[in-house]
Amino acid sequence: MAEALYHDPALAALYDDLNGWDADFAWVDAQVRPGDRVLDLGCGTGELAAHLAARADVTGVDQAEAMLAAARARPGGDGVLWVAADARTLDLDRRFDWIVLTGHAFQCFLTDADQDAVCAAIARHLARGGRFAFDSRNPEDRAWERWAEAVHTRPFRTASGDASVATASAWDGATEIVSYRQTYRTADGTRTSTARIRFAPRTRIAAALAGAGLTVHTWLGDWSGAPLTSGSPDIIPVGGLTR
């Protein structure tokens, strides 16, 4: 999972220009109470974690040092415990009231074994009465078909001026994996990255959670709180420990 977007400092610096506060962050923000212990897995550049740290005890975990460097440097970053680690093998020897993965980070876990391992890590760190939530794009929505229609170019702004990112993708139905290549053009030059994400069905996600000793209380279809249906853009399990 060593994608350049996350590990190249120059690309990590563009992450917040492309991915700002959105409905997933707002949903989590509404759930967390003052004093809650929060584990943000795949915290990236730390926008959500730093925001929550104003009222909660927050730990942010990411495998990419370039992303964590940006997280530490952001306003409020000194209020978060940042940990460089792989979520699949994480063992912090402490429990949390909330464990979240936002931004479709769960889709970076490409195999059944990867997904089983990260769900086991959630169970290992979840307090009795605590809750977890994460999102994964719903394969029934077939978003990759819209992505594959053409190379999509998206303009955005950086501190250096106008920029754009062009994305081309390909779907492998046998593995449920989309591979995509992104070309970033900024005032500082052109850089490329490649990445892969998995569109796991609800049944696979449910099996990984159940196998880890986790129970889903609610299946959401997007971060507005709508229930999951076949046409929902996302699969969002919200739940806790089974035993």
User: What pLDDT score does 184 carry?
Assistant: 82
User: What pLDDT score does 1 carry?
Assistant: 44
Residue with tokens 């089983």: 116
The correct CATH number of 140-198 out of 2.30.30, 2.20.25, 1.10.3470, 2.40.480 is 2.20.25
Query: Global pTM?
Result: 0.90
pLDDT band at 169 (very low <50, low <70, confident <90, very high): confident
* Of residues 33, 23, 25, the one with CA closest to residue 129: 33
Strands 161-172 and 136-137: unpaired
* Of residues 150, 155, 118, the one with CA closest to residue 136: 118
Residue 14 predicted with pLDDT over 80:
no
73 alpha-carbon distance from chain centroid: 20
DSSP class of residue 213 equals: T
Q: What DSSP string describes 52-81?
A: HTTTSEEEEEES-HHHHHHHHHSTTGGGSE
pLDDT tens sequence across 56-77: 999 999 999 999 999 999 999 9
Q: Yes or no: say if 232 and 138 are a contact pair by the CB < 8 Å rule.
A: yes
- CATH class for domain 4-139+201-241? alpha beta
- As a whole number, mean pLDDT of residues 229-234 equals 97
* Of residues 183, 235, 238, the one with CA closest to residue 214: 238
Question: So where are the chain's domains?
Answer: 4-139+201-241, 140-198
Residue with tokens 């390909």: 170
E runs forming strands in 73-188: 81-84, 96-101, 126-134, 136-137, 152-158, 161-172, 177-186
HEC-encoded secondary structure of 216-235: EEEEECCCCCCECCCCCCEE
pLDDT tens sequence across 27-37: 999 999 999 99
pLDDT tens sequence across 190-216: 888 888 999 999 999 999 999 999 999
